[in-house]
Amino acid sequence: MKMIPKTLEDIASYIVKDGKGILAADESTGTIEKRFKSIDVESTEDNRRKYREMLFRSPAMAEAIGGVILFDETLRQKAQDGSYLRDVILNHGSLPGIKVDQGVKELEDNSNEKITTGLDGLNERCREYDELGAKFTKWRAVINISDGMPSTKCINENMLALSKYALIAQENNMVPIVEPEVIMDGPHTIDQCYDVTKNTLSVLFEMLDKKNINIKGTLLKPNMVVSGTENSHQANYKEVAEKTLDCLNSSVPDELPGIVFLSGGQSDVDATAHLDEMNKIGGFKWKLSFSYGRALQQAALKAWSGNDSNLEHAQKAFSHRAIMNMKASLGEWSESLES
């Protein structure tokens, strides 16, 4: 990579430039163990390295991926040739980032509401991550929809934690990705998802403003406004796109450089189609892109199945999904491109 962007504004803009998005490869050791179990592969450090190196060396990295969110182990890990995986990412023109939250716990005893942990010691961790070459960070808040949920307390405390995290990240020269995820599981309607998402985002940007966060050096990773997974009416691509854009336009400041959606359990093609539909509608100032984990990796994981002879086949599967999502970020995707 010839020139690594230096300022927060330049880093944030670089990640979402020209339809590029983010590969979320920050699965915890427990999560990746479950993914590996699905393909009957043991989750050893070397297998985790092998799998992620395969993704990072895929042909589409340079074309479609502006940033990669890593888990702590991966940021420190070396590739097979002895170079650091973070340098493999940089050499493909992408920027390494790091997940810095430490998971969720119950907001109150016997509560289905969650609060994200990790503020204790965060400044020290971020200082080290900056020294290790991370250019951006990610912190996820979890908001569930159910009877009486989310509570005002749940939204306020999670958005306050996101704002505190964002300040610490920026003070350590790294772009914060703020991720308030309204979970799609449940019987709720798309309108309920809209109301909760809008409220959550409004509180988030109010909190960020109070902390004097540099919005031009920040990225937002939200859910799309979708029907609950158990709802009998599943909104179509157009309805999801229109409601999501309406929600974002009413709560997100124009100066934010980019919105990188999470896939949240959507199928690979649904996540791509929804993003494409929004970009075809247009009429917003931010870049609208992707920060997908499973929706970018699932096909590659199955193709690889822990077998070295499948590496090239798996890289092609990953590259296909990455290119499809880049085209969706430009509003240039169509279902015919999937065949």
Interatomic CA distance for residues 36 and 24, integer angstroms: 16
Joined together, the tokens standing for residue 172 give 């350590």
CB 77 within 8 Å of CB 132: no
Interatomic CA distance for residues 186 and 191, integer angstroms: 13
Greatest extent of the chain over all pairs of C-alpha atoms, in Å: 53
CB 304 within 8 Å of CB 311: yes
DSSP per-residue codes, 147-192? TTBS-HHHHHHHHHHHHHHHHHHHHTT-EEEEEEEE---SS--HHH
Residue numbers annotated as active site? 179, 221
Coil, strand or helix at 254: coil
CB 274 within 8 Å of CB 240: yes
